Structures are given as structure tokens and as C-alpha cells.
Amino acid sequence: MSTMLAIHAAGLWSGLLILLMIGLSAVTVRRRRRHLVAFGDGGVGELTAATPAFGNASEYIPAALIALLLLALTGAPSWMIHALGATLLIGRGIHAFGLIYQRGPASGRVIGMMLTHAVLLVSALLLIAYGVI
């Protein structure tokens, strides 16, 4: 029963993180249409910020989702999946906000990446521990 709860938790956070990715993609598409840019950023500042917000999410989120699912399948408790999933969603949201809305050295980018890396590091260590036990 506890494994099923953890799998459901992984499903919840996967769904929420996918919605975040769709939202970030929509911001990029909307800005490309507004500035008539088909590819890349076209030298437009708004796109220079929006494109990496989606790109970074699409690079980090899949690995984290796989880790959440594997942790759930290997017996991690559901509270752990919820804690990691929530931290990742918050971190990715803060990071995207920092890229899209902050100018110059953005604290949102730094905090968001710290949270993301923390989730990935803890997940990796837990997967190794569960693999050894």
C-alpha cells in the first residue's frame, strides 16, 4: 500500500511539473508570435529570457521525474516523494521567474538552481542507498 501512495505522489508531481513546462513553452511561443521570430531569440530581449526558462526546465525536469518514480518503485515513503516533488516545482518556478522577469544577476535563478540541484543530489544519493540495501 505504501508503494502505491508513493507512486501516486510521483504521479502528482509529474503532472504539476509537466504543466509548468507547458506554461513556460506557452510564454516562449506567445513572445515569438508577438515579435515574429520563428527560431531562436531573434535578438529580442524577451525571447532571450523566455527561451532558456523553458529549455532549462526541459533539461532538468525529466531526470528528476525519473528519479521520483524510481524512488517510489524502490520503496521510498510518499512523504519523501512529496518533499522532493514540491521542492523541485518551487525551484523550477523560482528559476523560471528569475530568467523571465529579473534583469542582471538574478537571485531567482540562483535560488531555483540550488533547489533543483538539491533535489537531484538527494534523489541520486537515495537511489544509490536503495540500490545497495
CB 84 within 8 A of CB 123: yes
pLDDT tens by residue, the chain, 133 residues: 788 999 999 999 999 999 999 999 999 889 888 888 888 778 887 788 888 889 999 999 999 999 999 999 999 999 999 999 999 999 999 999 998 887 777 899 999 999 999 999 999 999 999 999 8
CATH topology of domain 2-132: Four Helix Bundle (Hemerythrin (Met), subunit A) (1.20.120)
What pTM did the predictor assign? 0.91
**Cα-based torsion angle of the residue sequence 46, 41, 61, 106 in order, rounded to the nearest 10 degrees:** -40
Instruction: Report domain extents, the chain.
Output: 2-132
CB 38 within 8 A of CB 114: no
Hey, how many other C-beta atoms are within 10 angstroms of the C-beta on 87? 17
Considering only CA atoms, give the Rg of the chain. 17
